[in-house]
Structure 1
Amino acid sequence: MNTVLIVEDETHIRRMISIALKAEGFKTKESSNVQDGLVLALKEKPELIILDLGLPDGDGKEILERVRQTSSVPILILSARHSENDKVELLMAGANDYVSKPFSIKELIARIRVLLRDITPVIPEAERIRKFQDLNLDMNSGVLIFGKTHVSLTPKELLLMDILTREVGVFINQTVLMRTIWGNYNSEDTHYIRILVSHLRKKLSSLSTDQFSIETSAGHGYRFVFNHSE
């Protein structure tokens, strides 16, 4: 049974979320401030954290930044802040998803299930090790291997790399990527995919700066290519 930590200072919202999650088979822990929320996040080690930003003793981002120092637990931001800049900043800081208030409880639960599903992406047994010239992708452990260098991927980076390398050199539409990785609820939030691609590009660059890359084409999407084909 997955445990979800809810850090939210508005009692009625916190209780509503808790009741709905328990009805779906989850266990919940609750906090109304930064200090207690951080203690619970580090001590209880929940499978997912729902995090409000406007807390009475500080900004919920403090919890996000502290937890990200030691854990990759999915963190879903719940906030009344609506600007795209706020969303991008939080995603860059390590948040996995962002839901704006007011929100639908059904959508919230759907997003939670997607985040928990992404912890262990489903990969066909026959494709555990995918090889491309000198680059190997270990689908089981989520590791890219180039020579003696290894780089670990997050679940979403692994899923993106999986999609892009099924057909090397073929453009994948941005909407298709969004819906496959985040589901229909986030299909219009294109900044999500831009951030994810940016993170994956940095990891690929740490392996080699000129052997392979992710290309972008307006109207076509993204593709994985080798820059020096044999």
Structure 2
Amino acid sequence: MDNMDIKEALIYPVRYDGWFSRLLKLFLLTLLPVIGWFVIVAYMLRNCNRWSNKDYFDYPNFSEFNELIADGCIIFVIFLIYSIPGFILDVIPWWDSIIPTFYFLLLIFISPYIFSRYSQENRFLDAFNFKQLLKFARQNVILLSIIMLINIICTIILLIPAALFIIGGAIIIPLGKESFIWFIIGGAFAGFGIIISLLGLIYQLYIFSSLAGNIYYLWRSKEE
């Protein structure tokens, strides 16, 4: 019960039937400004809810599109409210810049609870239950640290090839002055790098929402 399903979370995005079509839908949604990202985040909320109930043997569905948009808006507002103290600290001239940075790192650290709590209760105010939040964070310091570490490692692994393609494209595109074919090749390189970065971001959101729900399930099981 005390172990996180890390291996399952890492392979989950491509494990079950229909993974490609869902990944394609999520990728296409990244191209839709604002609303597309609201839907993606709300979809990950549904995924988090499944993992919070140890029900991760299939993927969430895309039904009730309006509800997805609404949930995405709500979770955005929740994190915006949590970010306000960091923004205030950042504009106060006598505060050292490391303080707002530390605050936002702390917000990232506790974000699995906020995400999981709202996905379970679906009530706005439950995301601001500070007593439960502190209790959750205190009892899951190691597991929350593992989530941060996994996301950092995934970011590095996924950004390297994306950055190489984008940089390569930026180097090749100017050669288009000599031959149009170089412009096409450079554009293809840069475009492929952007595609990799977007797919990598979706993959990370899958892992984050899965492990956030997993930790919440383990914690809730102990509490019961």
* TM-score where L is the length of structure 2: 0.27
Decide which structure has the larger Cα Rg and report it: 2
Higher helix share: 2
The TM-score, its normalising length taken from structure 1, stands at 0.27
Structure with greater proportional strand content: 1
